[in-house]
Amino acid sequence: MKKTMPPTYFLGAIILSVALHFLLPVQQLLAFPWRLVGLLPLVAGIVLNLLADQAFKTYDTTVKPFQKSSTLVTGGAFAISRNPMYLGMTLILFGIAFLLGSATPFIPVLLFALVIDRSFIVVEDRMLEDTFGAQFREYRERVRRWI
């Protein structure tokens, strides 16, 4: 059975955020033009994902979860977060929720972060420690999981 990967959860969270906004907005939190502030985390998330993806390509290591990494990437975006791609996706979701302006689109942001943390990050950290040992433990002590 093929495991559901992070981009699927990400797309699902986007769809759920938009659906909740239109079907069950509960409370409008932000009025236009204040909602446009959501562009900041959205753009930051896109940039963070692009930088992290480029780092994986530069070091010729896998971007796919659960595949063994050939290199421990610790520079660039990985110097501020051990998981810049997941952080980037979460920032994009937060930006979308902010742009929508109602309360309920923020629920999928939290759910996405929790699912990614428990289903992917914990497993990936274990795999990296098994592969890189002391080098990963030192990196883990120096750089936070998210930010």
The per-residue pLDDT for range 58-116, each reduced to its tens digit, is 999 999 988 999 999 999 999 999 999 999 999 999 999 999 999 999 999 999 999 99
Q: What does pLDDT average to over the chain?
A: 95
pLDDT of residue 75: 94
pTM across the whole model? 0.94
pLDDT of residue 3: 86
- Which residues, in sequence order, are CB contacts of 145 under 8 Å at separation 6+? 81, 82, 83, 117, 121, 125
Q: Which helix (H) or strand (E) holds 128?
A: helix 122-132
Query: Considering the chain, what percentage of its residues have pLDDT values greater than 90?
Result: 89
What does the alpha-carbon distance between residue 81 and residue 140 come to, in Å, rounded to a whole number?
Answer: 10
26's torsion region: left (phi>0), alpha (psi -120 to 50) or beta? Answer: left
Expressed in angstroms, the distance from the first to the final Cα of the chain is 33
